[in-house]
Amino acid sequence: MPGNRLFFALRPSPLARNLIGVQRDQLGLAESVVENDRLHITLAITEDFARQPYAEAKALIAIGEQVSAAPVPVRLDRVSGSNETIALRPSRKIDALAELGAKLQQGLARAGLLRGTWDFHPHVTLLYRKGRPFTRTIDPISWDATDFVLIHSILGAHRHIELGRWPLEDRQGAFGF
């Protein structure tokens, strides 16, 4: 059974993380909640691995080191529930977020590590539950993402290990793939 996953993500600022946690806690009972320390927006993700993905982690660290991008203004203003999850989402496309995600996804694709069935739809998963789909607006939760991270997720253990962190900085004339 696969037990390891690698992904690049944006983590909310401490204030935004707490506001997101309040929003999650107001939703009521769930089969499983995403605790505040694991809240994130996935930017690019690998397939799952049964073994420790050492070589893959090294390749992703090299990809993270090559990415150059400006800070990303994040604004989440919708709560949406699917049959299995509830998440916060933006109601409008965030160009800088899409561009950062595309850079990282291209890097993973070139390395043969991008999950084949994954599409980028920015969201912060709050909880897992069985229920009817819904969408509603909320007061926006916003922050400026000033870095992105590489996470090693231990599946089933609800554990995230940060393997790398890279700044998002305005760099006039900077190159980045």
Q: What is the model's pLDDT at position 171?
A: 67
Q: What is the model's pLDDT at position 176?
A: 52
Per-residue pLDDT reduced to its tens digit, 52-66: 999 999 999 999 999
Contact between 17 and 11 (Cβ < 8 Å)? yes
Q: How confident is the model at residue 1 (pLDDT cuts 50, 70, 90)?
A: low
Q: Region 70-79: what's the mean pLDDT?
A: 97
Token representation of residue 152: 């090693």
Q: Region 144-160: what's the mean pLDDT?
A: 93
Q: Region 21-47: what's the mean pLDDT?
A: 91
**Residue 157, SS3?**
coil
Q: What is the model's pLDDT at position 157?
A: 82
User: Does residue 174 register a pLDDT over 70?
Assistant: no
Contact between 43 and 106 (Cβ < 8 Å)? no
pTM: 0.92
User: Does residue 6 register a pLDDT over 80?
Assistant: yes
Sheet-wide strand order for 4-10: 41-45, 4-10, 147-154, 159-167
Q: What is the model's pLDDT at position 21?
A: 95
Q: How confident is the model at residue 72 (pLDDT cuts 50, 70, 90)?
A: very high
DSSP state of 169: -
Q: Average pLDDT, whole number, for the chain?
A: 93
User: Does residue 82 register a pLDDT over 70?
Assistant: yes
Contact between 69 and 23 (Cβ < 8 Å)? no
Which residues make beta-bridge pairs with 81?
86, 134
d(CA 175, CA 26): 43
Which residues make beta-bridge pairs with 144?
73
